[in-house]
Amino acid sequence: MAVSPASALDYLRTRSIVDCDTLDAKVAQTLGPFQDCTSNQAIAFAELSKPERKELLAESHFKASTLLRAMAETREPRFVGIELDELAVEIATVKLAIQVTPYLRGRVHVQTNPYYAYSTEKTIANAFRIVYLFKDLAPQWDSSRICIKIPSTWEGMMACRTLQLAGVHTLATTLFSMPQAVLASEVGCTYIAPYVNQLKVHFEPGFVDPNKLFMLCCNIQQYYKIMSSVTKVLPASLTSTDDVLALAGVDHITIAPSLLQLLSLPAGPRPRSIFDKVTPAMTVGLLRTSYLKDEAAYRIAFTRDLGGASEEKLTQAINIFCDMQDKLIALVKSKSE
């Protein structure tokens, strides 16, 4: 006789690969095992703002200063044009990611600077710089465990294409539409992160997303299977345990610490997963769709998706992450003075 899972988190792990959406190693250690660890500018700011991170910030600022002096002599292209405080933020984020890895089976995900979201060249340079920092700070660490998170703009996904061809894993994040998902698969992204809730639910008190994208996650995964795509679906931006459990059966799912804590409690009634329901055959008409060599077709398809709502959500998310990048820079400056 089969034994029922002891908690909702145990149940979820029988159906999906579970990742942690945090840079707090204690969370990964306590509530694991996890496959991957995801992060972004907001998560990095929350962790680096903790009083116990003051020394790490100081070390990162000193390391950034040392690296910039060394790279100025060699004119290393990955470091050309980067400011001291921006580099210190990247070093601090990579240090946190390295601390989490002992409690993971898979990869750590670090997001590129959102201010580069509309520059393929700057995003590529940023990604290679992050990879360099991992190798410099942890020479014995397996660099194949790095995944670079990149906003799902056209320029961002062209950067993903270059990085994947160079052997660097990528995740197309802030994804809200099927056109973005089709292009992400075409460029060979390792993962995509559809945002079930638009990002402002985490920053605007009282706001509830009226159009959660559960069915989009399901349709993308169905489409990828039909197309034999290597790209995995990894939903993000979840606000409740019901959100999480509604996606049981998705390839990967990344969950914030507060929800992980709730899911680890003894299991109660579970909502039916969207993956247990009959999926509308909306993917059939997309089987011959290709955007890789037709930027104009992609841009109009994305602009018109849901009457412009998907493009609006992407713009909103990039703005929020830019705000968080600004806060990270201010935090580094305040700790280095």
Three-class SS string for 231-251? Answer: CEECCECCCCHHHHHCCCCCC
Q: Give the alpha-carbon dihedral of 159, 253, 212, 110, to 10 degrees.
A: -30
Give the pLDDT of residue 72.
Answer: 80
For 56-77, write each residue's pLDDT tens digit.
999 999 999 999 998 887 877 8
Give the pLDDT of residue 109.
Answer: 98
Q: Distance between CA 211 and CA 277 in Å, rounded?
A: 18
* Active-site residue, 232 included: no
Integer angstrom CA distances of residue 239 from 29, 160, 185, 242: 22, 28, 27, 8
Which ranges of the chain have pLDDT less than 70?
Answer: 1-5, 268-269, 278-288, 337
Give the pLDDT of residue 266.
Answer: 83
pTM for the structure as a whole: 0.94
63, 95, 122, 149: the active-site residue: 149
- The verdict on whether omega for the bond into residue 102 sits within 30 degrees of 0, i.e. cis, is no
Q: Distance between CA 336 and CA 325 in Å, rounded?
A: 17
Right CATH number for 8-336 from 3.30.160.270, 3.20.20.70, 1.10.10.10, 3.90.800.10?
A: 3.20.20.70
Handedness of CA 218, 310, 180, 192 (dihedral sign): negative
Q: Distance between CA 265 and CA 258 in Å, rounded?
A: 12
Give the pLDDT of residue 71.
Answer: 87
For 169-183, write each residue's pLDDT tens digit.
999 999 999 999 999
